[in-house]
Structure 1
Amino acid sequence: MTAAILTAALTGPMATKADNPNLPTSPEEIAADAEAAYAAGASIIHVHLRDAEQRPTADLDIARRTIALIQERCGALVQLSTGVGFGVPFEDRAALVELRPPMATLNVCSMTFADGEFLNPPDRVRALANRMRQLGVKPELELYDTGHLDVALALHREGLLVEPLQFSIVLGVRGGMAATADNLMHFVRRMPPGSIWQVIAIGRAHLPLTTVGLALGANARTGMEDTLMVRAGVPTSGNTELVNRMANVTRALDRELASVAETRERLGLDAASGPGTNPS
């Protein structure tokens, strides 16, 4: 099998330090965790931004500072979340791609997300996909249900997405697909040949379903966005523990971890692009 691309999702949009005090929320904390995750084998750092009150934000100054601090501390690729969090206007979320990170999320459908509404209107999703294509920002296509795949493939047919397509199969969010192996396999069978994909399994399903994905040849994502526990009843000591665990699982399955250079090549990233290339 090819080397596995390991993504570290450090913060997420919902948990706070009240849920686990080891959650990084400030730019400095996120950058420190990014450096440790990179040292443990992660080639991509998935970034959610928080303000001083730990609330999700799309503030461009916070984004620039967070990206700059990560760049100072490690060579990992930055993947900005345009999902951001509930209550943040779509226009503010979409503006993050103007910073030209190598990658950013593209959530293709609106949905009920736990107790909130995750709004991604079709016309605005289409415009964002087009803008990302213009800027050379690679979309990480986050798919929470099987119908989301059909929408993503329609965007590809319209010429708004450039191959290789990178899918994240999200399992375990209330309002989306339940976290079961059967749901995962159904989704995998529907993906077009040549797709690059990873499992994002939430909570107690995180370790087993991410491991199944790795065994099937997928990439992997881990971090405190996806689970705050290292095992039932035991809070994780932080992102480093989770990334080290997933790196060990990958090696136990006789797979190597992809370097940043290998990740760039596999995902078709423009070597000239990267965080901070656009001062706007």
Structure 2
Amino acid sequence: MTRPVIITCAVTGGEHSIALRNPHVPVTPEEIANECIAAAKAGAAVAHIHVRDIETKAATMDLALYREVVTRLRASNTDIIINLTCGPGAFYIPSDDNPQVAGPGSDLASPEARVAHILELKPEICSVDVVTFNHGGRVFMNTAAHLEQMAELIKSVGTKPELEAFDLGNVLHAKDLIKRGVINGPGLFQFCLGIPWGAPATVESMSYLRSHLPDDAVWAGFGVAAMEFPMAAAAVLLGGHVRVGLEDNIFLERGKLAEGNAPLVARAVDIIESIGDRVATPDEAREILGLR
């Protein structure tokens, strides 16, 4: 029997540069919602969603923008699973004069502020980055205490956390949170590969992270840039699920910009089917992920 494989589409992300490099990266709530709908029609069961400042195109935590995207999706005729990010609010840059004080470009926010949109909108899934690491010229910082506070708040509204792991230590930290009951087991994991300075986008990395998961955990994996499709194939072969989208890669092939998220999802569908598996529907994905 063929295995149903879940495709998550990360439709826009929070990196400022990708919106400047590809005009098809959605920015407004209407554009983001429409890209989620197009991804669903192409085969995605889950939409992973950030929002952007409409004027600057930079990442934002504006609750009104999240509210509009979710309202549009829930009013549409798609039943795609909504997965809202909790990533913004974790960047720290020490000031030149006093490294104990945040400098320009920092966006550190309280755990309550980082999950305010989850508490109000109650998506089925939200992403939780179980990582602190150097990211460009900034530190992406998630202290243990902040992660636990976020997890408890997320649990209070019944949203399932997707545990984003960038290296082995992140998997081990997430397992500890599950063991102590901070997060309900067996866990939903997303391996984020190829982001400096995390684990590289290789089959060896993906297999190694998988080998340390809790028993019966559900997992997916992705690679950034040129490794998006190779890592999609690796995830299927290793028994996981797949993520693609303009957040992770703005090209359909070398030198050819993707004209939206749907072509990236369609490529993932081709990969899954060529291996002999099939694409999971949103309802099948809900069963696999324990959302009902």
TM-score range for the pair, normalised by the shorter chain length: over 0.9
Residue pair 1:109, 1:122 contacting (<8 A) in 2 also: no
Which stretches in structure 1 are left out of the alignment for 5+ residues? Answer: 271-280
Residue equivalent to 1:37 = 39
Matched residue, 2:210: 188
> What amino acid is aligned across from residue 7 of structure 1 in structure 2?
T
Instruction: From the CA coordinates, give the structure whose radius of gyration is larger.
Output: 2
Deviations 1:109-155 (A, max 9, x none): 21112332211111010011111122111000000011001100110
Q: Distance in 2 between matches of 1:215 and 1:180?
A: 13
Question: In 2, Cα distance between the equivalents of 1:164 and 1:151?
Answer: 14
Give the CA deviation at 1:84. 2.7
2:94 aligned residue: none
The answer on whether the counterparts of 2:186 and 2:214 sit within 8 Å (CA) in structure 1 is no
Contact 2:79 2:282 in 1 (8 A): yes
Q: What CA RMSD, in Å, does the superposition of the two structures yield over aligned residues?
A: 1.4
Q: Which of 240, 252, 256 does residue 234 from structure 1 map onto?
A: 256
Residue 119 of structure 1 pairs with residue 121 of structure 2? no
Identity %: 29
Query: What pairs up with 1:79-158 in 2 under 5 angstroms?
Result: 79-84=83-88, 86=91, 87-91=106-110, 92-98=113-119, 99-158=121-180
Q: What is the Cα deviation at residue 240 of structure 1? A: 1.0
**Contact kept in structure 2, 1:113 and 1:176, CA below 8 Å:** no
User: Map of 1:1-280 to 2, 5 A cutoff?
Assistant: 1-14=2-15, 15-52=17-54, 53-73=56-76, 74-84=78-88, 86=91, 87-91=106-110, 92-98=113-119, 99-270=121-292
Q: Distance in 2 between matches of 1:186 and 1:106?
A: 21
Residue of structure 2 equivalent to 1:275: none
Give 2:255's aligned amino acid. Answer: G
Cα pair 1:203 1:229 within 8 Å, conserved: yes
In the superposition, the TM-score normalised over structure 1's length comes to: 0.92
Q: Tell me how far apart the structure 1 counterparts of residues 18 and 223 of structure 2 sit (CA, whole Å).
A: 19
- Contact 1:78 1:101 (8 Å CA) reproduced: yes
